[in-house]
């Protein structure tokens, strides 16, 4: 295993851990960029699914009527209510910014918990009226997603919507999204038909944005396609398409970014970054006049890891420069490091690697799998647990009613409210999808586990959109399990679940112990005082790993393989409690970043045992000096 640790202001440092024994070949990306299916997302009718076209809102969606007031009223009503705001197919014309608020219309604090869902991304469009934001010096967005000014704006989602800034709106921003701990923008498009506009997707408009996930999204036009900034709390991207930007495709000013599957077609640099940026499996196409630019600009001491990136039409694949004056530096010869010329970069890291043991440099290249497709059922066939006697207010025990819904013979289980459980619900039979709209399960943790997944007819079971599952879930089956936008959910595994496959997409837990499992995680958030993840003999792949508090962040043993492609430790307590990474007769690669504002960062970064020899790497050691004092034991 090899590592790199660099210190900077605010006790910031970066880790890159590599292990030598994994020798799989360079794998091609499974897919470049975003891909949209022409399918409709439909929910069963219930009070938790609020349709903006129905009473009392009556948005028209006809492309000519001004729907600003109707949509704003609906937004204000659902803030923090664990409800889904639904946009049927249509063109919703707006004439000012749609604002998410700290409080709902009843005056109660929202704390996030907002879920916007379009019926079909290609047919559900929020369009800005022409000439509304005509002054680029006074930027404004179609939608601003709120927050508290602290990292307490949880579990927010925008899905299957197109944001179109119309014409003559050079000051327009498509979406200013904000979420903490969990949250996602999925299957969305951001369009500037006449090429004007400032930013398609703005994630850098305020501090502490993230952790969050952006998946399967496309940006067409704008000066900048995606904008990220500031130091915390990390942002993860997968399957992104950028086309026709006039300044930068993706501009990162300090954030920790993990990205897989970018397809860009631009005459300007695809990426400019001085934060911590990890990118794999991407294709960057330079249009005419792109040959005066590098495809990627890493500057001002930014940390960069790039793997399996193809470029065409640019002057070079990557310019890696120290000076903040990137504009001059990219035109100078001799300022870049070897291996950056391209046009194809098999693997590149901006900084040296180090390790407790001498080992071959390079990432593990663990095989990457997409989450399996769970077929959508017609909404009229879903088993709504409320129809079986469950109490969506969470005041009464709903375990028996939910169990009856499970055993009804339906394959989709719908939990549209928040539910109290006083006994464990067994997921069995035909059930293959358990769907919520951001509600809570067992908020007061009266039972553990809340759900036990056992053998059933489907080889795959998917849990989707729950803000809290406080009693956790036990896996007692070798079936493949998907967790998509599920928060505060601890997992336990029986012997039957050993070596099973798991997929996390925007998942929050407090500790995780794997035993020979294969896990693919996109945007994983683990907050715990103590060991966060223990991988005993499995294959663990993470795109975007965010942690809080002290204790070992990842312990890998029993010949396990762990690969972390981008992540952030927000070390808020007890950094000296334990080594950050523990490796015991295993292989690990991690490109990782730490932020610590309390003066107690991790002191021991790596503890590794190989062939009964134990060595450690302390903060500031090896390739990190002269950034800080330290030693390798």
**Cα–Cα distance measured from residue 204 to residue 473, given in angstroms and rounded to the nearest whole number:** 35
**Cα–Cα distance measured from residue 472 to residue 133, given in angstroms and rounded to the nearest whole number:** 47
**Cα–Cα distance measured from residue 368 to residue 138, given in angstroms and rounded to the nearest whole number:** 43
Q: What are phi and psi of 72, to 5 degrees?
A: -65, -40
Q: Tell me what pLDDT residue 105 has.
A: 81
Please give the span between the terminal C-alpha atoms of the chain, in angstroms, as a whole number: 15
Domain assignment present for residue 111? The answer is: yes
pLDDT, tens digit (0-9, with 9 covering 90-100), for 590-628: 999 999 888 888 989 999 999 999 999 988 765 544 333
Q: What is the CATH number of the domain that holds 236?
A: 2.160.20.10
pLDDT exceeds 50 at position 525: yes
Report how many domains make up the chain.
Answer: 1
Decide: 463 and 486 in contact? Cβ < 8 Å: yes
pLDDT, tens digit (0-9, with 9 covering 90-100), for 358-384: 776 789 999 999 999 998 899 999 999
Q: Tell me what pLDDT residue 445 has.
A: 93
Decide: 421 and 399 in contact? Cβ < 8 Å: yes
- Compute the residue count for the chain: 633
**Cα–Cα distance measured from residue 319 to residue 340, given in angstroms and rounded to the nearest whole number:** 7
Query: Which CA distances in Å does 71 have to 76, 78, 183?
Result: 9, 11, 21
Query: Which CA distances in Å does 433 have to 54, 120, 398, 424?
Result: 28, 20, 19, 17
Average pLDDT over residues 575-581: 84
Domain assignment present for residue 77? The answer is: yes
Quick one: how far is CA 463 from the chain centroid? 17
* Residue 577: pLDDT band with limits 50, 70, 90: confident
- What single DSSP character describes residue 497? G
The b/e string for 260-289 (b: 16+ C-beta within 10 A; e otherwise) is bbbbbbbbbbbbbbbbbbbbbbbbbbbbee
Decide: 595 and 10 in contact? Cβ < 8 Å: yes
What does 383-395 look like in DSSP terms, one character per residue?
EEGGGGT--TTSS
If one counts every other C-beta atom within 10 angstroms of the C-beta of residue 632, the result is: 15
The b/e string for 552-568 (b: 16+ C-beta within 10 A; e otherwise) is bbbbbbeebbbbbbbbb
pLDDT exceeds 50 at position 280: yes
Domain assignment present for residue 224? The answer is: yes
If DSSP codes are grouped into helix, strand and coil, which group holds residue 515? strand
Domain assignment present for residue 521? The answer is: no
Domain assignment present for residue 365? The answer is: no
Range in 67-71, 166-170, 447-451, 568-572 the model is least confident about? 568-572
Percent over 70 (pLDDT), the chain: 92
Select from 554, 632, 630 the least CA-distant residue to 586. Answer: 554
Average pLDDT over residues 144-170: 95
Q: Tell me what pLDDT residue 142 has.
A: 98
Please, which contacts does 492-499 make with residues 24 or more away whose CB atoms are closer than 8 Å?
492/449, 493/517, 499/538
Domain assignment present for residue 442? The answer is: no
Give the domain range for residue 260.
Answer: 49-266
Q: Tell me what pLDDT residue 57 has.
A: 98
Domain assignment present for residue 585? The answer is: no
Mean pLDDT (the chain, rounded): 91
pLDDT, tens digit (0-9, with 9 covering 90-100), for 495-519: 999 999 999 999 999 999 999 999 9
pLDDT, tens digit (0-9, with 9 covering 90-100), for 11-63: 444 455 444 333 333 333 336 899 998 999 999 999 999 999 999 999 999 99
Q: Tell me what pLDDT residue 26 has.
A: 31
Q: Tell me what pLDDT residue 627 has.
A: 32
Quick one: how far is CA 181 from the chain centroid? 10
pLDDT, tens digit (0-9, with 9 covering 90-100), for 91-135: 999 999 999 998 888 888 899 999 999 999 999 999 999 999 999
**Cα–Cα distance measured from residue 192 to residue 189, given in angstroms and rounded to the nearest whole number:** 10
Decide: 472 and 493 in contact? Cβ < 8 Å: no
Domain assignment present for residue 356? The answer is: no
- Which burial class, exposed, middle or buried, applies to 10 when counting CB atoms under 10 A from its CB (0-12, 13-18, 19+)? exposed
């Amino acid at each position: 295993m090899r590592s790199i640790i660099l210190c900077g202001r605010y006790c910031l440092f970066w880790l890159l851990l590599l292990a030598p024994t994994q020798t799989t070949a360079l794998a091609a990306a499974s897919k470049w960029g975003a891909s949209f299916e022409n399918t409709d997302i439909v929910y069963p009718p219930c009070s938790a699914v609020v349709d903006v076209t129905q009473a009392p809102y009556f948005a028209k969606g006809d492309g000519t009527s001004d729907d600003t007031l109707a949509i704003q009223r609906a937004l204000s009503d659902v803030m923090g209510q664990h409800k889904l705001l639904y946009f049927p197919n249509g063109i919703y014309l707006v004439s000012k910014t749609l604002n998410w608020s700290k409080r709902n219309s009843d005056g109660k604090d929202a704390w996030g918990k907002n879920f916007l869902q379009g019926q079909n991304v290609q047919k559900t469009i929020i369009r800005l009226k022409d000439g509304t934001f005509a002054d680029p010096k006074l930027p404004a967005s179609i939608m601003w997603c709120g927050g508290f000014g602290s990292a307490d704006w949880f579990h927010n989602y925008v899905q299957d919507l197109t944001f179109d800034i119309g014409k003559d709106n050079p000051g327009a921003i498509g979406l200013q999204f904000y979420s903490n701990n969990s949250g996602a923008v999925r299957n969305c498009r951001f369009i500037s038909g006449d090429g004007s506009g400032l930013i398609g997707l703005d994630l850098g408009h305020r501090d502490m944005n993230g952790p969050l996930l952006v998946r399967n999204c496309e940006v067409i036009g704008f000066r900048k396609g995606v904008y990220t900034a500031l130091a915390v709390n990390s942002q993860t991207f997968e399957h992104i398409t950028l086309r026709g930007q006039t300044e930068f495709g993706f501009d990162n000013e300090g954030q920790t970014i993990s990205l897989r599957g970018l397809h860009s077609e631009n005459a300007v640099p695809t990426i400019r970054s001085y934060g911590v940026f990890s990118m794999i499996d991407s294709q960057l196409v330079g249009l005419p006049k792109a040959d005066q630019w590098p495809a990627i600009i890493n500057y001002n001491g930014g940390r960069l890891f790039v793997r399996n990136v193809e470029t065409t039409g640019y002057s070079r694949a990557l310019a890696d420069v120290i000076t903040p004056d990137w504009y001059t530096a990219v035109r100078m010869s001799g300022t870049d490091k070897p291996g950056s010329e391209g046009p194809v970069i098999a693997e590149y890291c901006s900084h040296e690697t180090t390790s407790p043991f001498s080992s071959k440099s390079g990432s593990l290249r663990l095989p990457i799998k997409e989450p399996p497709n769970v077929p959508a059922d017609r909404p009229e066939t879903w088993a709504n647990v409320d129809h079986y006697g469950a109490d969506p207010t969470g005041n009464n025990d709903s375990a028996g009613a939910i169990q009856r819904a499970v055993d009804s013979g339906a394959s989709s289980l719908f939990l549209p409210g928040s539910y109290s459980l006083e006994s464990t619900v067994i997921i069995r039979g035909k059930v293959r999808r358990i769907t919520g709209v951001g509600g809570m399960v067992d908020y007061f943790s009266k039972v553990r586990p809340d759900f036990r997944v056992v053998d059933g007819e489907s080889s795959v079971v998917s849990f989707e959109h729950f803000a809290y599952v406080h009693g956790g879930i036990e896996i007692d089956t070798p079936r493949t399990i998907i967790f998509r936008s599920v928060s505060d959910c601890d997992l336990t595994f029986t012997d039957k679940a050993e070596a099973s496959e798991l997929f996390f997409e925007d998942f929050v837990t407090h500790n995780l112990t794997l035993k020979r499992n294969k896990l693919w995680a996109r945007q994983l958030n683990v907050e715990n005082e103590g060991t966060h993840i223990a991988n005993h003999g499995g294959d663990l792949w993470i795109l975007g790993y965010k942690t809080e508090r002290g204790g070992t962040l990842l312990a890998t043993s029993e010949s396990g393989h762990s690969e972390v492609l981008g992540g952030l430790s927000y070390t808020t307590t007890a950094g000296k409690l334990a080594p950050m990474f523990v490796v015991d007769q295993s292989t690990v690669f991690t490109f990782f970043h730490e932020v610590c504002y309390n003066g107690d960062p991790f002191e021991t970064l790596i503890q590794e045992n190989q062939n009964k020899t134990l060595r450690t790497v302390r903060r500031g050691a090896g390739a990190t000096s002269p950034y800080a004092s330290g030693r390798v034991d």
